[in-house]
Structure 1
C-alpha cells in the first residue's frame, strides 16, 4: 500500500511536474471562464479562428527579434477585428468570414514558418509542450490568466447579457461594441497565454468543453461558471499526471478527459430529461 501511494505521490515532487500542473491549471481555469461566454454567444469557431491566425504573428515576431507573445496577440487581434469588419460591411455570414480569414492567415503562417531557419519545432506550437514550461513562462501564463480572469469575473453580468441577447444589452445601455471587441481581445490574449500548455490546436477544445459541460448540467449561468472551472481544474490536473505515467502528450490527455466528461454530462442530461421532461430556460 505504501508503494502505491509513493507511486501516486512521486510525480508531485518533481519540479517540472509542479510547473506543468500550475501552468495547466492556470490555463484551464481562464479557458473555462471564457468557454461559458463563447458557448452562449455561439463563438466556438471564433476560438478556432484566432488560435490558427496567430501563427504568422509568431513567425514575424521571431524574425523581428521581439517576444512572440506580442506578435501572436497582434495577429490574433487582427484576425478578430478583420472578421468583425468584413461581417458588418458585407453580406457574408460570420462563420464563413471566420473560415476564410483564419485559414488564409494560418496558411500564410505556414509559408513563413517553412522559410525561416529555426530550431523551434512546429509541433510545440501546434500542440504545446507543458512539461517543458520554465519558471519565466509559468509566471507569464499565471499573469495572463489572472488578468483575464479578473476582467471576466468583474464584467460577467454585462458579458452574459451581451452574449445571450445583444439587442437587449443595447437597449439597457451597455456598450455593446466595447464588450464585443473586449471579449475578442481577452480571447486572443488567453489563446496566446495557452500556447505553451495546449498549443494552437488543442486549446480550441479547452475553450469549448468546460462551458458546454456546464451548460448541459445547469440552467443558471453562475453555476455554469463554477461547473466549468471545476471540470477544467479536475481534467487539467489529472490529465497532466496521466500523461506522465503513460508518457503521452499532456494537452491531448487533458482534452481526452474533457471529452469523456462531456459524454458523461450528455448521458446524465438524457437520463434527467427522460425522468422529468420540461422546457429548458437558461438564466
Structure 2
C-alpha cells in the first residue's frame, strides 16, 4: 500500500511536476488576492490569452518564448489602461476587445506559418513535460514576484482600496498600477509551462476568491490564499497520477470544488445568523 501511495514520486517527470506546482502556487495566489480586490479578474483572463501572438512572434524570430509572452502581456495591459483612461468605454469592455483582438491575432499568426509545433502545450500546459530550464525560469520569476508582492502589499492594498488616498499619501500610484500589470504578465509567463494560457486564469482568480470568503483582513487573505493554492496544486498533481488525467485541469477542478464548498458553508452560516437575529 505504501509503495502504491509513493509511486508518483518514483518518476522524474512527476517530481518535476510537483516542483513547478509548488513554485508557482504562492505567486499566483498572492496575485489573485490583488486581482479579486481590484475587480481585475477579467484582466487576468485577458492577459493570459493575449500573450499568444507574442509567443508566436518569438518562435518565428527565434527569441525565447518567455520574452515574447511578457512583451505581449505588457502591450495588452498598457493598451487596456490607456484606452480605458482616454475613452468613455468601460474598462471591462476595453479588456474584452483588446484580449479578443490579441488572441485572434495570435491564432492567425500561428496558422500562417509552417511549423511542427502544436498549440496544445501553450494553451493547456504540459506539466508532465517540464524541463529543468522551465523549472529555473518558473523559480526565478516566482521568487521575484513573491518578494515584490510581499514587500509592497500594503502600498498595493491602499492603491487598490483608495487610489486618491494613496496619491495623497505620496505613493507612486502610476508606478504601482503598471508595476502590478508587469507582475501579472511575469506570473503568466511563469505558469506557461505548468497550466498553459487557458487554465492560468483559474490560478489567478480562485485562490483569492476562496480566501476572500474565509477571511476578514487582507493580510490573512494572502496567507490563506497561498496555503489553499499550494495544497490544491500538490493534491491535483498527485491525484492526476492515479486518475490518469492531466494535472492542470485536475488542479482547477479541485480549486473550483473548494470554492463551491466554502461558498455553501458561508451561505449556510449567514442564514443561521439571520435566523438567530
Counterpart selection for 1:255 from 247, 252, 256 = 252
Cα displacement string for residues 80-121 of structure 1 (whole angstroms, at most 9, x for unaligned residues):
000001111111110010000010010000000111222221
Q: How many residues align?
A: 274
Aligned position for 1:211: 208
Aligned position for 2:29: 32
Q: With structure 1 as the length reference, what TM-score do the two structures score?
A: 0.95
Aligned position for 2:6: 9
In 2, Cα distance between the equivalents of 1:164 and 1:116?
Answer: 45
Aligned position for 1:182: 179
SS in 1 for 2:195: helix
Structure 1: runs of 5+ lacking an equivalent: 278-283
Counterpart selection for 1:271 from 265, 268, 272 = 268
Cα offset, 1:189, TM superposition:
0.5
Cα displacement string for residues 62-86 of structure 1 (whole angstroms, at most 9, x for unaligned residues):
1111001001100000000000011
RMSD, aligned CA = 1.0
Q: With structure 2 as the length reference, what TM-score do the two structures score?
A: 0.97
Q: Tell me whether 1:197 sits opposite 2:185 in the alignment.
A: no
SS in 2 for 1:80: helix
Q: Tell me whether 1:240 sits opposite 2:237 in the alignment.
A: yes
In 2, Cα distance between the equivalents of 1:94 and 1:167?
Answer: 18
In 2, Cα distance between the equivalents of 1:120 and 1:219?
Answer: 47
Aligned position for 1:104: 101
Aligned position for 1:90: 87
Cα offset, 1:123, TM superposition:
1.3
In 2, Cα distance between the equivalents of 1:204 and 1:218?
Answer: 22
In 1, Cα distance between the equivalents of 2:270 and 2:125?
Answer: 38
In 1, Cα distance between the equivalents of 2:41 and 2:233?
Answer: 20
Cα displacement string for residues 185-239 of structure 1 (whole angstroms, at most 9, x for unaligned residues):
0000100111100100000011000001000001111111111011101110010
Cα offset, 1:13, TM superposition:
2.4
Instruction: Map 1:55-204 to 2 at 5 A.
Output: 55-204=52-201
Runs of 4 or more, structure 1, over 4 Å off, are none
In 1, Cα distance between the equivalents of 2:182 and 2:273?
Answer: 41
Aligned position for 1:21: 18
In 1, Cα distance between the equivalents of 2:22 and 2:273?
Answer: 36
- Of stretches 182-191 and 7-16 in structure 1, the one that deviates more from structure 2 is 7-16
In 2, Cα distance between the equivalents of 1:181 and 1:247?
Answer: 41
In 1, Cα distance between the equivalents of 2:109 and 2:254?
Answer: 34
